[in-house]
Amino acid sequence: MKFFVDTANLQQIKEAHDLGILDGVTTNPSLMAKEGIQGTDAVMQHYKTICEMVDGDISAEVVSVDFNGMIDEGKKLAAIHPNIVVKVPMIKEGIKAIKWFTDNGIRTNCTLVFSAGQAILAAKAGASYVSPFIGRIDDSGWDGMALIHQIRQIFSLQGFQTEILAASIRNPNHIIQCAEAGADVCTCPLDAIMGLLKHPLTDIGLAKFLEDAKKFA
């Protein structure tokens, strides 16, 4: 399973990258706004900076909701760097745009996916990635991880090449469950990745080793 970090914060991207296990980055307009990135030029420059920091797929989201607008935006985003993957919302115009991008050699990430039916449509249109939002499904009282299992089963059975990119990850356990469910990618907040490191017995064990090491130093 590939690890992406789900942020537009350059310090967090650097910290995840420095771990040596980072395979890519996802962003969205909300994450961009959180970093105070405003205006088309600033957004494009920010994506360029991220591409220069991380050698992996970088999802850059369109904000148009009509076909022509999405195509126009997506072409500009894809021109920033070969690693850019154009992120397109799961709406009717988005599916048409994904098909157009597929036919024209531009890779896509279909975002805001909350059902298996939506995932099938995205795969049929040739999306490179499909992004089911686990945490938001859990937040609304449904079972986000069950959707990952369902999409994995369908994609494997049908031979769809679209990669399952589990998004809206809230905690380290989500990451472990995504790995168990066969997600191809997990895009995570930095603290969820760092949370995988933690175990009290590791801390206790290391303290004891270091204490004992003093005896023969």
CB 175 within 8 A of CB 185: no
Query: Quick check: 26 binds ligand G3P (CB under 6 A)?
Result: yes
C-alpha gyration radius of the chain: 19
Tokens coding 100: 């157009």
**Binding pattern for the stretch 120-159 against ligand G3P, x by CB under 6 A and - elsewhere:** -------------x-xx-----------------------
Q: Rounded to whole angstroms, how far apart are CA atoms 83 and 193?
A: 22
Residue 192's alpha-carbon distances to 4, 87, 152, 176, in angstroms, are 11, 22, 22, 10
Closest distance between ligand G3P and the C-beta of residue 203, in Å? 28
Q: Is there binding between residue 28 and ligand G3P (CB under 6 A)?
A: yes
Q: How far is the CB of 204 from ligand G3P (least distance, A)?
A: 32
Instruction: Select from 132, 168, 181, 186 the one that contacts ligand G3P (CB under 6 A).
Output: 168
Interaction with ligand G3P in 76-115: which residues (CB under 6 A)? none
Residue for token pair 């797929």: 57
Binding site for ligand G3P (CB under 6 A): 6, 26, 28, 133, 135-136, 167-168, 187
